[in-house]
Structure 1
């Protein structure tokens, strides 16, 4: 059952015999897909169906579908507006439509979880810290209002959510895809700002995603320890002090902030020991067996607690919608209408090319 604590990526656009054999042996709790897995709506739905078919326990099938540059379906359909574009428009009805449309789109493609909403506060919209365009607010209340509306509508239409990146990537001084950010803000100050969206929305979120950044005020005696591997942060602060009882999952452990320092196996073991319930391996999928072997070294009580939380969350997973090209076309048309209402007719029809920007690789995955 240890494999239920792993979320694994998929190498390509179809499930090969080798892929299927690996996943049947590991029995992961779920899968996370990226742009590399997307060739057409029909192909993507077949892939998600195949992943369900090889799983003897209903799997999480997740994707990052935030809108804007973090839209994994950009190559096969209309790019939804970003969180920043929605917040700047200032119309909460449009935020609600965005949540509904993302849920309908994802269920049609066979997904049951969206790694959204982003709950980070944007302190600098131009910061080179992976968060450009992705934040619902420049203060805690704006994030709570906008992300809360998105989250409620996403979940109402039966796609599970994941609030990220606990406790704050908005403060990051570098991009965790490359290096480990260091954040020196005190816990008292975070409780009055960055942590407010989590404490306010905690009862309405299906899971939380932990952040690959070092928080010096939380781990003063462990310089360079990522928050995603921190017992002080995830167990003492998030669970014991803030009272969170749901699933915690790591961000991708294949990011530079982790792989530059920790080997595969020790990273996963440290993550779950710290308080995460699920460890995410998005790219180096061939290391999953090593990860599984290290999970088996943890106390059975730790594993059981996480398994119970994951099982409880999975009871809320919904079946996909019946796929049809007509339904795909209708949803895509509605996303374009939303773009027009948010951005205006001319800007909505522009196709954004992110390749030349000196930014995070997040939009290219």
Structure 2
């Protein structure tokens, strides 16, 4: 059962013989797909069907399909507007439509969880911290309003949402894909700003994803400890103080903020001991068996609550409907219509999601 605490990436368009062997052995709790796994709609659906076939327990199959620069299906379909573009447009009905479109599209592909909405507050739209264009608001209430509309409409399609990046990546001074960001904001200040979206929307979120930023005021005795590996933040703050009882998963443990400091095995073990239910390994997937061995060192007491929460979420996972090329084409057309309504007819034609002067790899995965 230890494998249920892992959420793993896949290398290509289909499972290799080696992947089938070790994934069948590990029995991970879920998978995450990236652009490297997307060649065509029918290919992605065949891949997700094959992932289900090797799992004894229905797996979470997740993707980052936010819209804008973080759209993993951009090579096989139209790119939805970004959270920032929808925020600027200022029409909640378009955000609701975006949530429904996204869920219906992912259901066609056999994906049952979207790692969205982003709940970070955009403090500096020019900051090179991986968040450019991805935030729903410049203050807590705007994030709550817009991200709440998105999430409620996403789950209408039976696709689950995941709020990220707890407690805040908006305060990051650098991109965690490269190195560890540090924030010196106090918990009292965060309770009045960054944490409000989680308190307001927590009951609606199937999962929360923890980010790789160090908060010096929350972990004064652990210099350099990322929030994702901090018991003070995951258990004492998110669980005990904010009362969140859904599934909590780490952001990718292969990011520079983690992999540059912690070895594979200790990072996974620390993540679960901190209070996360699932540890995410997106790229160095050949280390999955090493990660499993570390998880097997944990006590049964540590695992029990996590397994219960994962099982509770999995009981709510809906079987994907049959793939239909006609339905896919219709959804693709509707996404272009959403682009036009959000950006205007001329701007909607330019679907590049890159951001000038950004060095984040988030849009290229």
TM (normalized to structure 1)? 0.99
Q: Distance in 2 between matches of 1:61 and 1:110?
A: 8
* Contact 2:248-2:278 at 8 Å conserved across structures: yes
Q: Is the deviation greater in 218-227 or in 352-361?
A: 352-361
Alpha-carbon distance in structure 1 between the residues aligned to 2:351 and 2:219:
43
User: Per-residue CA shift, 1:297-344, capped at 9, x if unaligned?
Assistant: 111111111000100011111111211111110000000000000000
> Who is 2:94 aligned against?
94
1:335-350 equivalences in 2 (<5 Å): 335-350=335-350
User: What CA deviation, in whole Å up to 9, does each residue of 1:226-282 have, x standing for no partner?
Assistant: 000000001111111111111110000000000000000000000000000000000
Task: Provide the residue aligned with 1:17 in structure 2.
Answer: 17
Whole-Å separation in 1 of the counterparts to 2:90 and 2:354: 25
Structure-2 separation of matches of 1:299 and 1:360: 37
Counterpart of 2:32 in structure 1 is 32
Q: Which residue of 1 aligns with 2:124?
A: 124
3-state DSSP of counterpart to 1:66: strand
Q: What residue in structure 2 maps to residue 324 of structure 1?
A: 324
| Gap change, CA 1:126 and 1:228, over 3 Å in 2 | same
Native 8 Å contact 2:68 2:353 kept in 1:
no
TM-score where L is the length of structure 2: 0.99
Displacement of 1:360: 0.8
The aligned residue for residue 156 of structure 2 is 156
1:307 matched residue in structure 2: 307
Superposed counterparts of 1:1-365, under 5 Å: 1-352=1-352, 354=354, 357-365=357-365
Instruction: Tell me the secondary structure at the aligned position of residue 188 of structure 1.
Output: helix
Greater shift in the superposed pair: 165-174 or 321-330: 321-330
Aligned to 2:280, the other structure's residue is in SS state strand
Moved beyond 4 Å, runs of 4+: none
- Partner SS state of residue 248, structure 2: strand
Q: In structure 2, what is the Cα distance between the partners aligned to 1:250 and 1:212?
A: 8
Distance 2:256 2:300 in 1: 30
CA distance in structure 2 between the aligned counterparts of 1:245 and 1:40, rounded to whole angstroms? 37
Unaligned runs of 5+ in 2: none
SS at match of 1:23: helix
The CA RMSD measured in Å over matched residues stands at 0.9
Structure 1 unaligned residues grouped into runs of 5+: none
Q: How many residues are treated as equivalent by the alignment?
A: 365
Residue 156 of structure 1: how far off its partner (Å): 1.1
Report the CA distance between 1:351 and its aligned residue. Answer: 2.6
